Amino acid sequence: MKVPLLDLSAQNGAVEIELRAAFVDVLQSGQFILGAEVAEFEEECAEFLGVDHAVGVSSGTDALIIALMALGIGPGDEVICPSFTFFATAGSVSRVGATPVFADSCGTCFNLDLDDLKAKITPKTKAIIPVHLFGQMAEMDGIMAIAEEHELEVIEDAAQAFGASQRGKKAGSIGKCGTMSFFPTKNLGGFGDGGLVTTNDGDFAARLKDLRNHGMNPKYHHHLIGGNFRIDALQAALLRVKLPHLESYCQLRAANAAEYTRLLSRIDGVVKADQADCGCPIERAGTCSSEGAKLVLPVAYDYNDHIWNQYTLRVMDGRRDELREALLEAEIGCEIYYPRPMHWQECFSELPGVAELKLPVCEQLAGEVISLPVFPELTGEQIEHVVETIADFL
């Protein structure tokens, strides 16, 4: 039985009639840049996310860049972000001329380690970019408290967490702003590139809107040096078709994750990670339960609504790559997010302190993690097949 890592055709096929109608509407309107579709999409996103403003942009990467630009972050400024993340988080910091400073991650929830975050603050630090990795939010109460104490801005990289929430607040609604991606593999997957910046600050939203359009306002008057960071009207129109279904996509992913956890937990040597070492306020279990385990399963903290963009295991005893081979051999899609932390990337090797930097948890995770198919349309038989293949391997 073949199990793809992701199958977009089923999800998009189910709304094909509406997608075609949305396309025809835009075609006939002749309004391809900004306009009503974009404005309505932004309003619907803001409503869904519980924020005052949402600004559609060209990608999740551009969302980060434009957020940094709007904050006036540039040369001489430091921005702290996890090293265990997708490149765009750190790359955007460099793109605006600032310096990314890498902090370690939590081995349980994969998000920023708050103790290490604090240790990385210097007088040059201007902002923190927590990443809500794999669909579970980073510990925002703690992060906001640190940010307040040191007067730092917080940009939530919510590219993988559109719709996730923590203690009743959605990702992207807590920091100064949040950035989203509509890359097709994300929970709200688009039809090409697209992104969004969320904020509750009206002036900041206005600045973002000007910056995405060459800093122009009114027409041909440029008060800022912006760029072309606009989302396409067509993209907005198509995403408007999918947004009402997002909650059900996320619920199906969560059900798949729960089924993996239920079935995998029965296997000898498979444990659920239960110790938080990121500063997350859950009870510390003393010794880490992963000791002696063959496989550690991901957990959702009880105060988090995890949307499972990825279901990511830790494979112990240096057997991760072997498991990957076994899965691929069995025609089961899987991927390593991420095999190489940012502080080991060639393009960042010249940054101050990076050559000597040690981030033990992040480095360990890079060698242990593997993500399994968890997309909404995955069937029960497919999950059983993946679990059986893993059981045979172990």
Q: How far is the CB of 110 from ligand PLP (least distance, A)?
A: 11
Q: Which of residues 27-66 bind ligand PLP (CB under 6 A)?
A: 59-61
Find out whether 369 and 336 touch, Cβ atoms under 8 Å: yes
Taking CB atoms, the residue at the shortest distance from ligand PLP is 60
Nearer Cβ to ligand PLP (199/389): 199
Q: How far is the CB of 181 from ligand PLP (least distance, A)?
A: 3
Nearer Cβ to ligand PLP (11/181): 181
Report d(CA 116, CA 105) in Å as an integer: 8
Q: Is 181 in the site for ligand PLP (CB under 6 A)?
A: yes
Q: Which of residues 358-377 bind ligand PLP (CB under 6 A)?
A: none
Axis crossing angle, helix 246-264 with helix 380-393, rounded to the nearest 10: 40
What's the token pair of residue 369?
């993690």
Q: Which of residues 184-223 bind ligand PLP (CB under 6 A)?
A: 193, 195
Q: How far is the CB of 231 from ligand PLP (least distance, A)?
A: 11
Q: Which one among 41, 84, 86, 311 touches ligand PLP, defined by CB under 6 A?
A: 86
Nearer Cβ to ligand PLP (61/389): 61
Q: How far is the CB of 289 from ligand PLP (least distance, A)?
A: 27
Q: How far is the CB of 387 from ligand PLP (least distance, A)?
A: 26
Looking at this protein, which amino acid is placed at residue 150?
A: H
Q: Is 160 in the site for ligand PLP (CB under 6 A)?
A: yes
Find out whether 170 and 306 touch, Cβ atoms under 8 Å: no
Report d(CA 75, CA 95) in Å as an integer: 10
Report d(CA 317, CA 375) in Å as an integer: 28
Contacts of 299 (CB under 8 A, 6+ apart): 108, 109, 272, 273, 274
Find out whether 239 and 101 touch, Cβ atoms under 8 Å: no
Report d(CA 68, CA 211) in Å as an integer: 11
Q: Which one among 131, 330, 362, 378 touches ligand PLP, defined by CB under 6 A?
A: 131
Nearest to 371 by CA among 333, 322, 325: 333
Nearer Cβ to ligand PLP (125/160): 160
How many chain residues interact with ligand PLP (CB under 6 A)?
Answer: 15
> How open is the CA angle 209-211-216, to the nearest 5 degrees?
90
Q: In this structure, what are the phi and psi dihedrals at residue 373, rounded to the nearest 5 degrees?
A: -60, 130
What's the token pair of residue 22?
């949305």
Q: Which one among 11, 83, 89, 105 touches ligand PLP, defined by CB under 6 A?
A: 89
Q: Which one among 183, 191, 338, 348 touches ligand PLP, defined by CB under 6 A?
A: 183
Peptide bond into 338 cis (omega under 30): yes
Q: How far is the CB of 202 from ligand PLP (least distance, A)?
A: 25
Residue ranges binding ligand PLP (CB under 6 A): 59-61, 85-86, 88-89, 131, 157, 159-160, 181, 183, 193, 195
